[in-house]
Structure 1
Amino acid sequence: MNRTDRLYALVEELRAASPRPRSARMLAARFEVSVRTVERDLAALQQSGVPVYAVPGRSGGYVLDRRRTLPPLTITPAEATALAVGLNALAGTPFAADARSALHKVLAVMPERERAAAAEMAGRVQLLVPAAGAARSAEPVVPAVLREALTAGRVLRLEYGDREGALTSREVEPVAFLGGDEHWYLAGWCRLRQAPRGFRLDRIRAVEALDERVPARHVDLSELDTLGSDLVPLAEFGV
């Protein structure tokens, strides 16, 4: 069994046993590898976002939170390939890294035969990319704290640089991400300017999520001329 298959099998072994823990020694015997190898595999799963937790004590071990995982998916190789092609469109957006992570999680819970067929089909798909040297916006680096604050509705404190590089500290009530081919922005209510503002992600030098919740406030994003084009909610695309 190669490592990829073993990682998948480890998840399924822990899923079947949950909520009872499985010790590293027990898992090592099950997959005929060393305890050290199993511990490295479990650490890799944890780092990739799989909700595996260590339970201390004599009867402890490792537990998978079944509420936060998917069982093996009845997804076809063509569907998996379509997901990969569609997620490729997120390159250059704040969600590119999350798209890659999501695809890896989907593949990890597919049955082995379907996963192999998806890999074979994906090998027959080629995407056109800009020629070498062609201008293309760099993928914006978005701190996790910024994305999480937008979801949780928490006020942010930004260190923001303007086009001349001058820095200001601002408290911002985040509302949305605005994006296009050239730049991505965080839109929100700027308490410094007392008005809606769009903050270019590549000009945010530091960000801190405050304990304060975003108050109820209507912010009209149409007042922003940041993108110079109409705003189309992502929900219109079925998300």
Structure 2
Amino acid sequence: MPETGTTQRVLRLLALLQQRPVWTGPELAGRLGVTVRSVRRDVDRLRDLGYPVNAAPGRGGGYRLGAGKALPPLLLDDEEAIATAVSLRLAAGGTVTGASEAAVRTLAKLDQVLPGRLRAEVRALQGAIATLDGGRVEVDADALLVLARACRDRLRVEFGYADRTGSASVRRAEPYRLVATGRRWYLVAYDLDRADWRTFRLDRLHDARATTFRYRPRDHPDPVALVQRSISVAPYPHRVRILLHADAATVRGRVPATVAVVEPAEEGRCVLSAGGADPAFVLLHVALLGFAFEVLEPEEVRGLAAELGRRLVAAGAVAESSA
């Protein structure tokens, strides 16, 4: 038999072993149209390639694809490929921690090798599915794939972008990481025209394309921390730093990462950094956490805290006198 025929048969054997837990030698021989002896030789070829094919003799025995040190390539038929791609596109907007990012990476790999006829069917099915998203902001899955591949391959990208004021511009950037917050997706990238690291909301981004220019990795900030600070502190006119008499883990369990940055401090305390249109609302939310706290900065917010405290004490005194 020609070498190409042997290779095709071995790939078919691998696909069959992935379809169900156990196959007998005669069953595999019948499916492949060869002898049981040929099946044994093909199993040996798979083992030589590193696939853990286990064999058990006797009644009830057979061949089983075992768990190895690395995940072997999965061989998918058309229906399996479509189901996998649609599921990954849905998972890319999911709420399970870490699943969205992993889904985008996996979808980028699958979409790269998916035949055009199947890619079109995947998009048609995706367009026919609606989800109750609980407030998430939808982004273009194709843009996610373009940017995910560019991050992986270290390719410069170009895209149109509208900032929070609606001002439109064309950006050239070196993409580093995609970050999901649960509601939105952000791209962390080095903005070539502004010579600095930036975060970009993907729902404000359009016409993303990867260029053929590769870049060398730069020293970079922590992408998650950069996104967290950019959405919880930087956009607001008033920024407040507060020392809380509670440990960071406890406060993080009460304060969403999209609302404030919480950093450990000495003696089991922590520093909360947050922004807001009105610092009084920040103070009230911190007070409702139930921990003792001190305003570190700015100075004027310390005075506001004292004034709010006096108002609350006065309100309590009025309530007691009228009781």
Q: Which has the higher helix share?
A: 2
**What interval of TM-score do these two structures reach, taking the shorter chain for normalisation?**
0.3 to 0.5
TM-score relative to the length of structure 1? 0.43
The structure whose Rg is larger is 2
* More contact order relative to length (CA 8 Å, sep ≥ 6): 1
